[in-house]
Structures are given as C-alpha cells and as structure tokens.
C-alpha cells in the first residue's frame, strides 16, 4: 500500500519518496516492521492467550523438562502470520502475481493450522483436525499454487537470445525474450536446468501443453511434504522457528539474484522477471521468525502451534516453487527432511519387526530425531543450537550451487 503512496509522491518530486523504488530499502523496512510486530505485539497476544487459557496440553513422553511446558500458550503462529502479512501488504507491489500467490497461500495454510489448533484447544480434542482433512487442505493449496504457476500469463522466465560484444569497448549487449517454460533449477548439474515437459515429450509433440499433468502433482507433493516436515520439527523451543529463519535467508538470496537481470546474467542462472518483489515477502518471513524467537526460545513463553508450523513449511515450499528452486529443497530444508525421514523409518521398521519377530523394534530411541537426542540426555537448547548449525551449513551449500555445477 505504501509503495503506491510513495510512487505518487515521487511523481510530485517529494523529497525522499524515490527510495521506495528500491527493493533493498523496502525489504529492510519489511524486516524491521515484522520484527516490531512480533516483538511488541507478541507479548500482548501471549497475555491474551493466557487470559483465555489457550494452553498447550503436553503428552507424557518421559522427556526432561516436559512437565514444565504444560499450560504454555499455543496458537502463537497468529503472531507469525500477522508479522508476515502486514509488512508485505505495506511495502510490496500488490499487483505482482508472485506476491498475490504468497499472500493467498499463507492465509490458506494458516487457516488449516488454525482449525487444527482450535479443535485441540477449544474443543478439547487432542487429536485436532483429522489427518485426512489436513492432507485435503494441503492438496487444495498445492492445486492452487500449481495452477497459478503453470497457467497464469504473468508467470514466465526470460531467456537470453542474443549476446553481442562490441570489439572496441568490450561492452556486451544482451537481449531477453519472455518464454512460457516449465524449466526449473537442478543442483550440481552442469546445465543446471530441468524441464518437466521432457518427462512426457516421448509420447506427444506438444509436451508443454500437457506438462501440467507432471508439474501440479509434484507441487502438491512438495507443499505437503515440506509443510508436514516443519510441523514435525516443531518439537523443541525455537527449533522450527530458527531453522525456518535460516531457510528464509537462503531463499531471499535466491529470489534476489533470480529477479535481477544483472546477477542472473553474471551467475548464468534463470532470470525470472518480477520475482525480485518476493524478497520483500521473505524479508517479512525472516523478521517474523526471528522476532518470534524473542518469546519462543528456551524456555518458551509461547508455542506457535500448527497455525505457525504448517504455514511456515508451506510458505517455504511455495516460495521455492515460485523461484524455480524446488529441487534444492532437500538441501536447504535438510533438517525438515531428516525429521520426516526419522519418523518414516521408525514407523516402517517397527511394523516390519513386529510382523517378522512378533514385537516391534526401534531404530531411534524416539522419533522425530530431536527427541532421540533428548532421550540420550542432551539438553534441549544444545540440540536446537546444533540443528541450527547444521541448517546454516546446508544453507551455505545451497547458495554455493549458484556457481558450483
């Protein structure tokens, strides 16, 4: 909203109004406002949740410090959502298709988590929203995101079609052509691009017209997997929040270079026109996560609940899809991936051994993986810090792929 106001003021030659043209300035403002909302208004929301007795019901898993968390306010994800949406509405171009996509996806994912928390807290049903309804909600989000990214006319990439070097000056002249393409970035490969249409070009000549049959199911799987991965990770104070902030910074780098024609040419990566505006959204996302850590770090004064965790994971997935970096998710979301895999391995092995030997056996002391280390006697804050360090290493590795191929 403020962007359009300052754009008008700039036309009137109002001093300083022109600074709003710069994505870097608006991103910085978005981060600061997001931090202020989560830190200043977060306390008021916590007090309100206390007054309404919106407390967490903790299952007895035999973990150290578990009983102390009983009654801690939950549904703090509302703070995160507000800290993301308000700065984005203030500083981003609201007619940008990528911003519209992220805003609607955030609301949809937050609604799924809110319904789940509402049933747990106010209806006193520990199971919350039935798993099948969560999946249905995530599938709907995936269908929406996949359809927009595939069919909308404003979603395209620009390919370099001509490079001319003037011999006398050494200046390169580059021309770009808008192309409706379903190419995405594939890491650690020389040409670093993969076209979903190539999976079906063997069966028809116009593969691009039918590539949505591959792309949209992939989008649904990615949104569901990453969203649930963040939900699994949200088991220790500050773990999911801090990990999401690290991932958000990584995505901000990708969005900035992908939406900037100069950096795209220099790094020889896919140029996605208009995607640079996403940096403002992801700036608010990072600010919301870091600001929420003010109250969510050990010992937590509030939990984000599914309102926050499902939304955080889904936002990361949709954002990565929008900037064509979804195949890098297993790298920069490695913590989420390992948490998911630990649960899948534990359940599968338990069922296998129970069927074969008559009693179930476990690979880990407890799943998800962070609870395994709790059972081994590591303090909660140490586990969280080490997971953050791993997340930072994976983030750096992901950014290095811009040149490492």
pLDDT for res 9 = 82
pLDDT for res 65 = 59
- For the segment 78-94, the average pLDDT, to the nearest whole number, is 94
Concatenating the DSSP letter of every residue in 13-76 gives T-TTGGGGG-HHHHHHHHHHHHHHIIIIIHHHHHHHHHHTT-B--------TT-GGGTT-B--T
Percent of the chain beyond pLDDT 70? Answer: 89
Q: How far is CA 103 from the centre of its chain?
A: 13
The average confidence (pLDDT) of the chain is: 87
User: Cβ contacts of residue 83 below 8 Å, gap of 6+?
Assistant: 34, 35, 37, 38, 284, 287, 288, 291, 292
pLDDT at 396 over 80: yes
pLDDT at 230 over 90: yes
Rounded to whole angstroms, what are the CA distances from 72 to 56, 110, 371?
5, 20, 19
3-state DSSP assignment of residue 156: coil
pLDDT at 99 over 90: yes
Taking 3-state DSSP, the helix, strand and coil percentages for the chain, each rounded to the nearest 5, stand at 65, 5, 30
pLDDT at 135 over 80: yes
Among 235-239, 342-346, 382-386, where is mean pLDDT lowest?
Answer: 235-239
Residue 181 · residue 156 · CB < 8 Å = yes
- For the segment 15-25, the average pLDDT, to the nearest whole number, is 86
pLDDT at 54 over 80: no
pLDDT for res 207 = 63
Model confidence at 53, in pLDDT bands (50, 70, 90)?
Answer: low
pLDDT at 125 over 70: yes
Q: How far is CA 61 from the centre of its chain?
A: 29
Q: Six-digit token pair at 153?
A: 């006319």
Model confidence at 367, in pLDDT bands (50, 70, 90)?
Answer: confident
- For the segment 304-323, the average pLDDT, to the nearest whole number, is 93
pLDDT at 358 over 70: yes
The CA-CA-CA angle for residues 389, 395, 398, to 5°, reads 145
User: Per mean pLDDT, which of 115-124, 243-252, 267-276, 305-314 is the most reliable?
Assistant: 243-252
Model confidence at 253, in pLDDT bands (50, 70, 90)?
Answer: very high
Residue 388 · residue 244 · CB < 8 Å = no
How many other C-beta atoms can be found within 10 angstroms of the C-beta atom of residue 47?
11
pLDDT for res 144 = 96
DSSP state of 86: H
- For the segment 126-141, the average pLDDT, to the nearest whole number, is 89
pLDDT for res 160 = 63
Among 176-190, 228-242, 331-345, 358-372, where is mean pLDDT lowest?
Answer: 176-190
pLDDT at 84 over 90: yes
Phi then psi for residue 161, to 5 deg, are: -110, -20
Burial level of 347, CB count in 10 A (0-12/13-18/19+)? middle
How many other C-beta atoms can be found within 10 angstroms of the C-beta atom of residue 165?
9
Between 172 and 49, where is the model more confident? Answer: 49
pLDDT for res 348 = 94
Q: How far apart are CA 150 and CA 154, in angstroms?
A: 10
Among 182-186, 254-258, 293-297, where is mean pLDDT lowest?
Answer: 182-186
Note the pTM of the prediction, 2 decimals.
0.91
Model confidence at 338, in pLDDT bands (50, 70, 90)?
Answer: very high
User: Cβ contacts of residue 60 below 8 Å, gap of 6+?
Assistant: 66
Q: How far apart are CA 213 and CA 304, in angstroms?
A: 35
pLDDT at 80 over 80: yes
Model confidence at 13, in pLDDT bands (50, 70, 90)?
Answer: confident
Model confidence at 316, in pLDDT bands (50, 70, 90)?
Answer: very high
């Amino acid at each position: 909203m403020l962007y359009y106001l300052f754009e008008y003021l700039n036309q009137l030659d109002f001093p300083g109004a022109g600074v709003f043209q710069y994505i870097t300035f608006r991103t910085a403002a978005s981060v600061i406002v997001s931090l202020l909302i989560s830190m200043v208004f977060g306390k008021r929301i916590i007090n309100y949740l206390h007054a309404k007795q919106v407390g967490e019901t903790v299952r007895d898993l035999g973990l150290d410090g578990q009983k102390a968390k009983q009654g801690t306010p939950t549904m703090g994800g509302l703070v995160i959502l507000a800290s993301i949406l308000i700065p984005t509405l203030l500083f981003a171009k609201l007619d940008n298709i990528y911003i519209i996509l992220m805003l609607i996806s955030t609301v949809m994912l937050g609604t799924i988590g809110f319904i789940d928390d509402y049933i747990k807290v106010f209806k006193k049903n520990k199971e919350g929203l039935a798993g099948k309804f969560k999946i249905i909600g995530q599938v709907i989000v995936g269908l929406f995101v996949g359809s927009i990214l595939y069919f909308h006319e404003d979603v395209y990439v620009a390919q370099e079609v001509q490079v001319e070097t003037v011999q006398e000056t050494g200046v390169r002249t580059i021309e770009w052509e808008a192309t409706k393409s379903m190419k995405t970035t594939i890491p650690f490969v020389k040409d670093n691009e993969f076209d979903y249409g190539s999976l079906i070009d063997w069966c028809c000549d116009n593969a691009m017209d039918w590539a949505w049959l591959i792309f949209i199911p992939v989008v649904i799987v990615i949104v569901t997997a990453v969203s649930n991965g963040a939900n699994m990770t949200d088991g220790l104070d500050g773990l999911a929040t801090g990990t999401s902030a690290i991932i958000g910074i990584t995505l901000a780098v990708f969005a900035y270079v992908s939406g900037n024609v100069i950096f795209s040419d220099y790094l020889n990566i896919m140029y996605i026109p208009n995607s640079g505006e996403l940096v403002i959204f992801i700036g608010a996302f990072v600010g919301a996560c870091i600001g929420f850590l003010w109250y969510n770090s050990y010992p937590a004064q509030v939990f984000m609940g599914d309102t926050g965790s499902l939304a955080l994971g889904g936002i990361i997935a949709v954002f990565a899809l929008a900037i064509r970096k979804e195949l890098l998710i297993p790298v920069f979301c490695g913590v989420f991936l390992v948490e998911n895999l630990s649960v899948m391995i534990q359940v599968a092995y338990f069922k296998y051994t129970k069927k074969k030997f008559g009693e179930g056996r476990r690979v880990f002391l407890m799943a998800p993986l962070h609870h395994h280390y709790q059972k081994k006697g590591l303090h909660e804050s140490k586990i969280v810090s080490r997971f953050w360090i791993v997340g930072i290493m994976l983030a750096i590795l992901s950014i290095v792929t811009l040149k490492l191929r």
